[in-house]
Amino acid sequence: MNTIAGAQRERGKRHPAVARSLATADLVRITAQHVSSEGRCEECGALVTAAKPLCPRAAAALRELARRDGTADTSSRTIRFSVATLLRSASAHRPTPEGRCFRCGFVYTAKCQDCPQLRIIRRELEARGMIPLTAPEPGVGTCAGKSASWELTGQNLASWQRAIDSCHECPILTQCRTTLRNRIAGGEPPQDQIVAGAAFDYYGNHVPADRLRTYAVLRSRTPRGPANHVAAGGDAA
């Protein structure tokens, strides 16, 4: 057996497993560092071709990002880059005439015109209020794939207000309100979340819109303390 080739094959097998064990921010960092240029990865030196434009590490990281796409793990709490870095990175993820992402090599399809990394970056910029929220598709909630922007933790008053306003424009608001009523009736209200245009504190108490500002101030002073009860008690939906 050719031991060098065998070792290379073993190394190749390990990349997906390693990618699965990494935090999303680390995966994004790998795809940012392992850039292919003139037939090689600038970071690790692996050979790349037009058919395989990414080195094995970058390819494994990208596959893992695609698998996690839309999950809580890709929320704003896991991505801590400056807005300038995110915008610079977003501009590099653009289509080539060959139908691939210029930056990461993702092959677009008729249904998928954004690479996974660009979707993560866009959600992060949306959550920070740097770009407008993506227009919802018919029959799909505006919050789909952006759940972090509808959570109270990790966001500020402006972000909460943006999420509430988006709920009011959501194509499935009526359905969402019905589901919310059922959840409340069943004793399982949302916690630390905005649902159907209504905010709920850590304990599932509705925070009325006119007390949201006060609640944000109290909460910032006393995270997870009794102050969180101050704004509770309104009727949702």
Give, as ranges, the residues between 189 and 228 that touch ligand SF4 (CB under 6 A): 195-196
Determine the straight-line distance between the first and last CA of the chain, rounded to whole angstroms: 68
Tell me how far CA of residue 6 lies from CA of 3, 13, 14, 16, 19, in angstroms.
5, 11, 13, 17, 21
Per the CB < 8 A criterion, the answer to whether 68 and 15 are in contact is no
53, 141, 145, 189: which one contacts ligand SF4 (CB under 6 A)? Answer: 141
Residue 28 engages Zn ion in binding (rule: CB under 5 A): no
Region of 10-18, 113-121, 189-197, 224-232 interacting with Zn ion (CB under 5 A): 113-121
Q: Own/partner pairs for 36-45, CB < 8 Å, 24+ apart?
A: 36/105
Closest CA to 40 of 13, 58, 66: 58
Select the binding partner of residue 196 from ligand SF4, Zn ion, none (C-beta < 5 to 8 A, by kind). Answer: ligand SF4
Query: Taking the complex as a whole, how short is the minimal distance between the CB of residue 104 and Zn ion, in angstroms?
Result: 3
**Farthest-apart Cα atoms in the chain, separation:** 73
Identity of the residue, 12 or 171, whose beta carbon is nearer to ligand SF4 in the bound complex:
171
Residue 103 engages Zn ion in binding (rule: CB under 5 A): yes
Sites of contact with ligand SF4 (CB under 6 A): 141-143, 150, 166-167, 170, 172-173, 176, 195-196
